[in-house]
Amino acid sequence: MPRLVGLVFAVLILVLASPPAAASAHAELLSTTPAEGAVLIEAPGSVEFTFDEPVVLVPDGFQLYDGTNTHHTVPVEMTGATIRAIMPSGLAEGSYALGWRVVSDDSHPESGVLSFAIGRADASAPTIVEADALPVEVVYGVLNALGYLGLFCLVGLTVFDLLVARTRAPGRRLPRLAALVAVLAYVLLVPVGAVRLSGVGLGGLLEPALIAAGVSQGAVLTLVFAGIGVLLMLVRVRLPREWDLRAGLVGSAAALVSVLFVGHTQTFGPQWLVMSADVIHAATAAVWLGGLVALILHLTRARRRNGDPTEAAVVLGRFSTLAGALLLLLGVTGIILGVVMLGSVSALVGGVYGRLLLAKLIMVAVIAGIAAWNRFGLLPRLARESLDGRAWRGMVRAVRLEVVGVVLVVGLASALTMQNPGATDASPESNLAASEALAQGGTPMLTDLGADVFTGRFGPGRAGVNVITFELTDHGGASIVPIALPTVSVSEPNLSLGPLVAVVEPGDRPGSYRAVVVLPAAGQWKITAAVRINEREQPAAVIDVVVVA
């Protein structure tokens, strides 16, 4: 046992002292070659996808569909953050759709579809029907929350026995139940996580080969560390007393470190700061949740034995002191993680992740208020009254409310691990208003599209978010409405940047559009707008613009 504890402790030090290089949130697709909706003269040998960071490939993650919806897997090569999908030889004329799926470093799947045509577009474009991801996400979220709850409860019970009550309680059923829930949840998360990343739906659980190919290293490491921690926390009460404390604390540390291998801590930097804050954050929630449960059990047993209220008050005082320090740590680490992942206060209301984080902070504040009432209002009275007095009943109610609140906080934390911190859900109206403001005063653009005219403005002409507002008309000034949304891309040949695909939205009148694009650097940029006039014709306008820093 001393060797086992020493080995686990050494592994923990190596994990925390050697974090991987920092990355940035979910992976984002920057550009594709060819661009979305492009009509090519001849079949491409490959299709390139450039992301803002390296990603993890998924088995059979790239599927090519033709006009008859026949599809097959295409091989891929990855260099850095660029993926090359090797196209089959001899592709015929017509429309194609290349469905892709990868995984970010934070274990979140990313997917999309790239449409292009060779020679001419087919009358009907290929369609890709993806499996319903909602059932898998629900099962994954429930298992994730159960894993957190079981593990955190066991850690809290262990720390309470070692540092607060200072007892050895080998016969309790609750630690064993918490251990069973945690281990079972993390065992099931391995195959469910593999199915989630592959995107095939719950039916994939019946395909052992698919599960074996899609198992992530993070899920396995989480299971291993959680399992080691659970084992040490359960067997500590059977060890000599001098090893009880060591095994319990090392087991708790191993269990808490297991939260690092899957989630957003893998993608934000500086990683030493984010990983340390995440472990402290998890330790706070664990000791608080399990400690509150253990406190209720401890005081209930004391009441049944008609114990000394002063002794009960001493135990409650120790836990209240520990909980106060934990609350400070929870607030500090929560602020650190929130600032690093969101980057601004406004992001708290700009997306699902921010609102969940705000709800979590509000819940923590409510729990802190209940805990303060318990510590400074009820604890002094408990030491003076019997365990059947009003102070006892009020304290029990307060602690139960704290337990419910901490369970909700853990549930919110589990939901946060499944959200993209950078995603916002601003309404289309607000997006259009912002686009209009950015484009005002920009560079005018005017060019012919064969028989039609492309007229627009580009602004503000600085590195960062830029907006292109444009209209399509004939030479007489009448609006032209193409059969599909125009596609807009930008590139900077001198810097080898692009093409970057812009997000195109319809304007407030027929034939008008707005395109939003993020330009990473100053330079001489080329804007290419392709307009599908009919099934065979897709003229393109190319405009040169200057972008300053």
Q: What is the per-residue pLDDT across 179-200, written as a single tens digit (0 to 9) for each?
A: 999 999 999 999 988 888 777 7
For 351, the domain range is 266-425
* Confidence band, pLDDT 50/70/90 cuts, at residue 1: very low
Helix (H) or strand (E) holding 9: helix 2-17
For the CA atoms of 217, 192, 58, 204, the dihedral, rounded to the nearest 10 degrees, stands at: 140
Which region among 35-39, 128-132, 289-293, 446-450 has the lowest average model confidence (pLDDT)? 128-132
How many helices and strands (H and E) does the chain possess? 12, 18
Question: What is the dihedral sign for C-alpha 390, 396, 397, 398?
Answer: positive
Q: Which residues pair with 516 in a beta bridge?
A: 467, 503
Q: Is the per-residue pLDDT at 150 higher than 80?
A: yes
Distance between CA atoms of 160 and 290, rounded to whole angstroms?
8
Of 379, 408, 425, which marks where a domain is finished? 425
Distance between CA atoms of 547 and 459, rounded to whole angstroms?
9
Name the token pair of 436.
């209009």
Instruction: Pick left, alpha or beta for residue 43 (phi over 0 → left; psi -120 to 50 → alpha; otherwise beta).
Output: beta
- Helix, strand, coil % (nearest 5) of the chain? 50, 25, 25
Is residue 124 in a domain? no
Instruction: Determine the distance from the C-alpha atom of residue 438 to the mean position of all C-alpha atoms in its chain, rounded to a whole number.
Output: 30
SS3 465: strand
Is 161 found in the same domain as 248?
Answer: yes
Q: Is the per-residue pLDDT at 438 higher than 50?
A: no
Distance between CA atoms of 26 and 509, rounded to whole angstroms?
35
Tell me what pLDDT residue 179 has: 93
Tell me what pLDDT residue 515 has: 85
Helix (H) or strand (E) holding 506: strand 503-506
* Residue % of the chain over a pLDDT of 70: 69
Which CATH number goes with the domain that contains 108? Answer: 2.60.40.1220
**Which residue matches tokens 């939003």?**
516
Tell me what pLDDT residue 224 has: 92
* Residue % of the chain over a pLDDT of 90: 9
Closest by CA position to 291, among listed 130, 152, 93, 147? 152
Which CATH number goes with the domain that contains 274? Answer: 1.20.120
* Confidence band, pLDDT 50/70/90 cuts, at residue 421: low
Tell me what pLDDT residue 427 has: 42
Tell me what pLDDT residue 181 has: 93
Tell me what pLDDT residue 230 has: 93
* Confidence band, pLDDT 50/70/90 cuts, at residue 76: very high
Is 309 found in the same domain as 395?
Answer: yes
Is 506 found in the same domain as 393?
Answer: no
Is 217 found in the same domain as 164?
Answer: yes
Of 262, 278, 312, which marks where a domain is finished? 262
Q: Is the per-residue pLDDT at 94 higher than 70?
A: yes
Q: How many residues make up the chain in this entry?
A: 549
Tell me what pLDDT residue 185 has: 93
Is 226 found in the same domain as 166?
Answer: yes
Distance between CA atoms of 118 and 234, rounded to whole angstroms?
64
Is residue 215 in a domain? yes
Q: Is the per-residue pLDDT at 169 higher than 60?
A: no
Tell me what pLDDT residue 414 has: 58
Q: Is the per-residue pLDDT at 112 higher than 70?
A: yes
Tell me what pLDDT residue 509 has: 82
Alpha-helical segments (H) within 236-308: 241-257, 271-304
Tell me what pLDDT residue 207 has: 80
Question: What is the dihedral sign for C-alpha 341, 343, 345, 349?
Answer: negative
Is residue 491 in a domain? yes
Is residue 240 in a domain? yes
Is residue 11 in a domain? no
Which CATH number goes with the domain that contains 473? Answer: 2.60.40.1930
Structural domains of the chain, count? 4
What do you get for the CA distance between the two ends of the chain, in Å? 61
Is 211 found in the same domain as 161?
Answer: yes
Tell me what pLDDT residue 225 has: 93
Which region among 58-67, 125-134, 329-338, 421-430 has the lowest average model confidence (pLDDT)? 421-430
Name the token pair of 338.
């929130």
Tell me what pLDDT residue 9 has: 43
Q: Is the per-residue pLDDT at 170 higher than 70?
A: no
Question: What is the dihedral sign for C-alpha 13, 15, 20, 25?
Answer: negative
Tell me what pLDDT residue 468 has: 85
Q: Is the per-residue pLDDT at 131 higher than 60?
A: yes
Is 421 found in the same domain as 404?
Answer: yes
> pTM of the entire structure?
0.58
- Which of the pair, 14 or 176, is modelled with greater confidence? 176
Radius of gyration for the alpha carbons in the chain, expressed in angstroms and rounded: 29
Distance between CA atoms of 75 and 77, rounded to whole angstroms?
7
Q: Which residues pair with 102 in a beta bridge?
A: 57, 110
* Confidence band, pLDDT 50/70/90 cuts, at residue 531: confident
Q: Is the per-residue pLDDT at 274 higher than 60?
A: yes
Tell me what pLDDT residue 188 has: 93
* Confidence band, pLDDT 50/70/90 cuts, at residue 113: confident
**Angle subtended by helix axes 174-198 and 134-159, to nearest 10:** 150
Is 147 found in the same domain as 104?
Answer: no
Name the token pair of 215.
């198992």
* Confidence band, pLDDT 50/70/90 cuts, at residue 87: very high
Looking at residue 421, the DSSP 8-state letter turns out to be T
Is 96 found in the same domain as 236?
Answer: no
Is 135 found in the same domain as 224?
Answer: yes
Q: Is the per-residue pLDDT at 489 higher than 80?
A: yes
Is residue 304 in a domain? yes
Question: How many CA within 13 A on the CB side of residue 357?
Answer: 30
Is 419 found in the same domain as 279?
Answer: yes
The set of residues, in sequence order, having a beta carbon less than 8 Å from that of 245 and lying 6+ positions away, is: 162
Tell me what pLDDT residue 36 has: 77
**Angle subtended by helix axes 217-235 and 2-17, to nearest 10:** 140
The set of residues, in sequence order, having a beta carbon less than 8 Å from that of 37 and lying 6+ positions away, is: 115, 116, 484, 487, 530, 532, 538
Which region among 24-38, 119-133, 173-187, 273-287 has the lowest average model confidence (pLDDT)? 119-133
Give me the chain's average pLDDT, please.
75
Alpha-helical segments (H) within 160-240: 174-198, 208-214, 217-235
Is 408 found in the same domain as 279?
Answer: yes
Rank 247-261, 263-277, 316-330, 520-534 by mean pLDDT and report only the highest: 247-261
Is residue 9 in a domain? no
Rank 83-92, 416-425, 522-531 by mean pLDDT and report only the highest: 83-92
CA distances from 217 to 212, 323, 384, 523 (A): 11, 34, 55, 41
With beta carbons less than 8 A apart as the criterion, state whether 326 and 287 touch. Answer: yes
Closest by CA position to 229, among listed 244, 250, 251? 251
Q: What is the mean pLDDT of residues 246-256?
A: 89
Of 221, 247, 262, which marks where a domain is finished? 262
Tell me what pLDDT residue 119 has: 82
Tell me what pLDDT residue 171 has: 47
Name the token pair of 26.
């979910």
CA distances from 31 to 82, 423, 484, 503, 526 (A): 10, 18, 21, 12, 14
With beta carbons less than 8 A apart as the criterion, state whether 128 and 97 touch. Answer: yes
The arrangement of strands across the sheet holding 76-79 comes to: 76-79, 82-86, 46-51, 29-33, 497-501, 487-492, 523-530, 540-547
Residues 424, 428, 430: CA angle, nearest 5 degrees: 80
Is residue 19 in a domain? no
